[in-house]
Structure 1
Amino acid sequence: MLGLSADNHHPLMLQRVTLGLVSLVAAFLTVTTFFRVELLHHLLWSNGPENNSSCPYGHFRLVGMKDCLSWLSCEMMQSEVTVMKLIGQGAVKQVFLAHWKGNKVALSRLAVSEFSNDFFHGLEMLKGLQSVYVVKLLGYCEDHTILTEYHRFGSLTNINSILEQEDHRSFNTWEVRFRLAIEYAMFLHFLHNSPLGPRVMCDSNDLGKTLSQYLLTADLHVVANDLDALPLVNRSAGLLVKCGARQLQGDFVSPEQLWPFGDDLPFSDDLMPPYDEKTDIWKIPDVTDFLLGQVEGSDVLRLHLFQLHRDCKRNLPQQRPSALRVVQTYKAVYTLLTQESELSGTYSGTSRDL
């Protein structure tokens, strides 16, 4: 019987060891990628706004406060809160900058009495959806007054002007901007599976209106703020929604939100078919495109998101992905591109520094 010589045996063993190491490294990278994707939600918020869930329901804690306090009563708001100036106004409410015990806070008041139901709907949503995704409620009064945490950067419409400021230019990266888009999608997933049932973000008939529903925090995170129009979807009861009683137009709203009977038949809310939360999915690509801006790496990111965003724009709502799938894909792409950036030495690291 012929045997292998030592010279022949050595290369064979070396090849086997090399293949084993390659398989081990590949498995390690696979596991690492999996855990990075799974933990991204926590990494995104590790340095973000303080999680409302750290306080019991009905309580709040602002930055710098050691203990949780109960929501302020009407009497406490009247005696302890000082209104400074008007900083915003919509159809439903006026928003004022105010002071409470050395803290800047936002005080909202009903602007027009005929929108009282919308105002109280927004209050109930604010109370019931308190979480890391929603602005902190500090107190309320039945005289149409709500007190919330103040965020000096204002709404997401200001993102470009904020990041173009000299103090924030180092954060004007695809990583930071994409994280904002991920958080926006995470809120929609939360909203579509909320403790108050599946809800639809109805105040979103154009890009500017949609962005105005969210605030940009000082540490560059996203929190939902305007919750005055969140109707409930209840499929088991055959309950779908309609975002208002007027005709919607334009490419930003989803096809099912458009009047389906053409110009020959005048618009009638009674004849307008209802729809579900997939209207929110249709709008995700436009919001994300705005948030990404035109920074280095954003075009590469758009290529990675092309297929997902095309699916979001399917004419048939049932063919669009869920908000969860959008979040999962966004996380996976974020992880992939940050790994590639780390390997090439171009990762900015700014999202870790916030």
Structure 2
Amino acid sequence: MLLHNGEAHFLWRCRVWLQVWLQVEGTMSSMSHGFPAVGLCLAALLLSNALLYLYLESLYPTDELLLSSHVGCEPRHFKMATMKNCIPWLQCSQINAEVRKLKLIGQGAVKKVHLAEWRGQKVALSQLSSLDYLEDFLHGVSMLQALQGPHVVQLVGFCLDNHTQVTEYHPLGSLLNLDSILAQEQHQQHNTWQMRLRLAMDYVSILHYLHGGPAGRRVMCDSSSLEKTLTQFLLTSDFRLVVNDLDALPEVDPSRGLLVKCGHRELTGDFVAPEQLWPFRTKGKPFADNLMPGYDERTDIWKIPDVTWFLMGRVPGGDVVHFHLFQIHEKCKKEDPKLRPSALDVLNVYRSVYGSMVRDNAGFRDML
């Protein structure tokens, strides 16, 4: 039987822990006459650590395993939580006849978003706000089609005739609402460093997916401020993240000389990466779009520490997380983009910090 890489890795881990356990068990049996309590405690500690390690790997496997084991529908199909079967994306006739607007829940330069209903299911119906942004709208639809997967909001259907798209509805809304949501009584139990760090891991996982997914290397250009960046993500009911707004996701490929510029206006502020700033500002030269140098996806890396700082909030244990992430975040803020880590490098550090802190907490509780 052929196994995926992630499955083979998991089984290899199991075999290693089993071998260690058998060796310790043999040692403990020989020691049990003189030190029965010590032997039992050591064996229990080893087994608990092994199970915890495997549990963490099951929660946060490699991206390859996460994507390959994702139980979804065949291409151009969807299935929401309460549906039994996958069905094809809705087309114009179905959207016009079966999708009913309920209320306006959001509006931007490109789209107006309505809460809507389709066959008893709540969905988000997005419509083009102005023909001036038709190109952006069409780009967003094409990216939603190309990037469907666990990191991206689920596409339900679209109609290019009247410039509409339908996606899965997430009632908790955008990531910008995180603190107000966690302040609500029914969600306060989720306001922990563990949950907040998992959201940060989701965020970096999404960047990694966009930087090397099926649509090539993509840059999140709708990220000129922290608030604007947070609105690009939705918080699911089980407190995970999916990227939602893909209207400004240009491709970059330095090997082909393909770089990007996020918009045609001057960007300012500390949130955007240094290479996104007008380089001749100090010389008093007015901004000129045709003279602005291009850049690549490492602009997204620069912004990771700021987004994670927001995500961690003010919870017990958050200061320890920041301490452990200080070094990788310092690398994210390198002025030279070539010296910054990749999203995968950052994600690996986040996973390591999460795992070590969970193990430390578990060990501390065992000592009480």
TM-score normalised over the length of structure 1? 0.86
Could you tell me which residue of structure 1 aligns to residue 168 of structure 2? 149
Kindly tell me: are residues 52 and 136 of structure 1, through their superposed partners in 2, closer, same or farther at Cα, counting changes over 3 Å?
A: farther
Could you tell me which residue of structure 2 aligns to residue 288 of structure 1? 308
Tell me whether 1:341 sits opposite 2:331 in the alignment: no
Map 1:157-168 to 2 at 5 A: 157-168=176-187
Question: One-letter code of the match for 1:337?
Answer: M
Could you tell me which residue of structure 2 aligns to residue 131 of structure 1? 149
Question: One-letter code of the match for 1:196?
Answer: A
Which residue of the other structure, out of 103, 110, 113, is the alignment partner of 1:85?
103
Deviations 1:201-232 (A, max 9, x none): 00000000000000011111100000000000
Which residue of the other structure, out of 200, 209, 221, is the alignment partner of 1:190?
209
- Measured after TM superposition, the shift of residue 135 of structure 1 is 0.4
Kindly tell me: are residues 56 and 35 of structure 1, through their superposed partners in 2, closer, same or farther at Cα, counting changes over 3 Å?
A: same
Which residue of the other structure, out of 276, 291, 299, is the alignment partner of 1:279?
299
Question: One-letter code of the match for 2:102?
Answer: M
Structure 1: gaps spanning 5 or more residues: 1-12, 347-354
Could you tell me which residue of structure 1 aligns to residue 257 of structure 2? 238
Alpha-carbon distance in structure 2 between the residues aligned to 1:299 and 1:258: 31
Tell me whether 1:324 sits opposite 2:344 in the alignment: yes
Question: One-letter code of the match for 2:326?
Answer: F
Which residue of the other structure, out of 101, 109, 116, is the alignment partner of 2:119?
101
SS at match of 1:227: coil
CA contact (8 A) 2:49 2:359 kept: no
Alpha-carbon distance in structure 2 between the residues aligned to 1:286 and 1:63: 33
Map 1:41-60 to 2 at 5 A: 41-42=60-61, 54-60=72-78
Kindly tell me: are residues 280 and 224 of structure 1, through their superposed partners in 2, closer, same or farther at Cα, counting changes over 3 Å?
A: same
Kindly tell me: are residues 163 and 140 of structure 1, through their superposed partners in 2, closer, same or farther at Cα, counting changes over 3 Å?
A: same
- Measured after TM superposition, the shift of residue 96 of structure 1 is 0.3
Higher alpha-carbon deviation: 232-241 or 200-209? 232-241
Which residue of the other structure, out of 327, 339, 359, is the alignment partner of 1:307?
327
Alpha-carbon distance in structure 1 between the residues aligned to 2:247 and 2:79: 24
SS at match of 1:72: coil
- Measured after TM superposition, the shift of residue 194 of structure 1 is 1.1
CA contact (8 A) 1:36 1:335 kept: no
- Measured after TM superposition, the shift of residue 39 of structure 1 is 3.8
Could you tell me which residue of structure 2 aligns to residue 120 of structure 1? 138
Kindly tell me: are residues 327 and 36 of structure 1, through their superposed partners in 2, closer, same or farther at Cα, counting changes over 3 Å?
A: farther
CA contact (8 A) 1:153 1:218 kept: yes
Q: Which stretches of structure 1, 4 residues or longer, exceed 6 Å deviation after superposition?
A: 23-34
Alpha-carbon distance in structure 2 between the residues aligned to 1:169 and 1:29: 28
Map 1:52-71 to 2 at 5 A: 54-71=72-89
Structure 2: gaps spanning 5 or more residues: 1-29
Kindly tell me: are residues 40 and 219 of structure 1, through their superposed partners in 2, closer, same or farther at Cα, counting changes over 3 Å?
A: closer
Kindly tell me: are residues 193 and 53 of structure 1, through their superposed partners in 2, closer, same or farther at Cα, counting changes over 3 Å?
A: farther
SS at match of 1:330: helix
Alpha-carbon distance in structure 1 between the residues aligned to 2:219 and 2:85: 34
Deviations 1:156-183 (A, max 9, x none): 0000000110001111100011100000
CA contact (8 A) 1:53 1:132 kept: no
Alpha-carbon distance in structure 2 between the residues aligned to 1:28 and 1:314: 42
SS at match of 1:252: coil
Higher alpha-carbon deviation: 28-37 or 214-223? 28-37
Kindly tell me: are residues 38 and 235 of structure 1, through their superposed partners in 2, closer, same or farther at Cα, counting changes over 3 Å?
A: farther
Alpha-carbon distance in structure 2 between the residues aligned to 1:176 and 1:34: 18
In the alignment of these two chains, the number of paired residues is: 326
Question: One-letter code of the match for 1:87?
Answer: I
Alpha-carbon distance in structure 1 between the residues aligned to 2:361 and 2:342: 29
Question: One-letter code of the match for 2:365?
Answer: G
CA contact (8 A) 2:113 2:126 kept: yes
Alpha-carbon distance in structure 2 between the residues aligned to 1:255 and 1:34: 39
SS at match of 1:332: helix
Could you tell me which residue of structure 2 aligns to residue 266 of structure 1? 286
Could you tell me which residue of structure 1 aligns to residue 11 of structure 2? none
Kindly tell me: are residues 64 and 58 of structure 1, through their superposed partners in 2, closer, same or farther at Cα, counting changes over 3 Å?
A: same
Tell me whether 1:225 sits opposite 2:235 in the alignment: no
Question: One-letter code of the match for 1:235?
Answer: P
TM-score normalised over the length of structure 2? 0.83
- Measured after TM superposition, the shift of residue 38 of structure 1 is 4.5
Alpha-carbon distance in structure 2 between the residues aligned to 1:313 and 1:200: 17
Higher alpha-carbon deviation: 337-346 or 117-126? 337-346
Alpha-carbon distance in structure 1 between the residues aligned to 2:240 and 2:279: 38
Higher alpha-carbon deviation: 53-62 or 281-290? 53-62
